[in-house]
Structure formats: structure tokens, C-alpha cells
Amino acid sequence: MQKNNTKIICITGYSGSGKTEATPVLASSLPNSKYIGCDDYLPDYLIQFPTQTERVFGEPVTTKDGLEYFKQFEPKLTAESWKKWHDDFLKFANPKLTSDVDSIISSHEPRFLIIEHMALPFFDIWNKTDYKILIFANDIELLVKKMEERDKLGCSRETVMKRHFGVKEYLDNTTYDCTIGNNYNESFYYDVKNLAPKIIEMFEYQ
């Protein structure tokens, strides 16, 4: 992968921690930046691999709207079936992300390229990252938030707990350049914006 002068920034964190909200905020605070959200690959995966999807979700794909299908059935997955599906998705998304990064860098030559996803430590791009950020939230507040969301969709609280702490284990055992806590208020966005000058200064002469 040819990086030229582009600095790659990866943002990871638990589901619901605020990664998706933080990414455009940081991108708007950094000059000449682009960003990629790996969840954008979900619709393509679900539609292109209906057999694998049905095997894990237990329901056939009956719509061309892959994201709508995912939102409907994902909360009902057990921790075990979710891991199986997620492993399959990573195999699909990993080469696509590498290809998209190469394409963006070669065609746009951004100064900063920001990538966001919960499982980024498992992507090849992680080892080529210049700056790694973990977004985290208070475990109790986050679990309450996720349980309230999942209760409405019929997902058991046991499943929420298993999935949360399964992700937490590998995220907690990964090294980062920066961690940002999310208390679900305006201070979170301030902290994200405040990170931009530090990043600019760090890479000013690189």
C-alpha cells in the first residue's frame, strides 16, 4: 500500500460508544481529510452473500436494502452466532477496505484519512495506521443504553452482556495512541475536536 504523505487514523471502540459520531467531527477539524466507516460495507455483504447471511440470521434476505435487514435481525443474534457472522463479514470487508484506502490515497492524496469500525484491530490496515484512537464509555451507562435499545427489539440482556464483554476483551488488550471517554454530553465532542491540533502538531514535519 502506497501511503504517500497521507496519515492514517483509526478509530475503534465498543458498539454504541460514539465512534460514528466522533469520526466526522474529527475529520472536520483536520485539514484536507477524508473518512471511511466500515459499516458502509454491510449492505453489499448482506446482499452478495445471502446463503451465509441466512445461515447465521435464520431468516432469508428478502429485500435489496441490506442495512434494513441487518437492523431488523442483528439485535436478535446470540453472542455465538453474532461472532460467526462478524468473522465472515471481516473476511469480506478487509480486502475492500485496503482497496478503498489505496484508491482514496492515490486519487485524492488527503493529508489525513480517518477509518472507523469496532473491529479495526483485526483489519490489515491496523498495522499500517499512524494514529490509533479508542472511544470508550462508562460500562454501566453503555450497557443500560444498549439494553434499552435491544429490549425494544426482543434481544435478551444476556446476549447484550456476552457480546459487550466479548468485544471489550480484545479492545482492552490493544495499544492505542489516544483514548477518549464518552459521557454522552457535549464535552465528548469538545474532546474530539481538541484532539485535532495535537494530531496536526505531531505530524507537522512528516
| Fold entry, domain 7-199 | Rossmann fold (3.40.50)
* Residue with grid cell 428478502, as numbered in its chain: 62
For residue 72 the three cell numbers come to: 431488523
In angstroms, rounded to a whole number, what is the distance separating the alpha carbons of residues 167 and 183?
19
At residue 120, the pLDDT reads 92
Q: Which residues of the chain have pLDDT under 70?
A: 1-3, 63-79, 138-170, 206
At residue 81, the pLDDT reads 72
Q: Residue 68 corresponds to which amino acid?
A: E
Q: What is the pTM of this model?
A: 0.83
At residue 159, the pLDDT reads 58
At residue 125, the pLDDT reads 95
Strand-pairing partners, residue 37, are 116
Q: What is the pLDDT of residues 84-124, one digit of tens each?
A: 777 888 999 999 999 999 999 999 889 999 999 988 998 99
In angstroms, rounded to a whole number, what is the distance separating the alpha carbons of residues 159 and 139?
15
In angstroms, rounded to a whole number, what is the distance separating the alpha carbons of residues 94 and 195?
27
CB 66 within 8 A of CB 43: yes
At residue 85, the pLDDT reads 76
CB 125 within 8 A of CB 105: no
Instruction: Domain ranges for the chain, please list them.
Output: 7-199
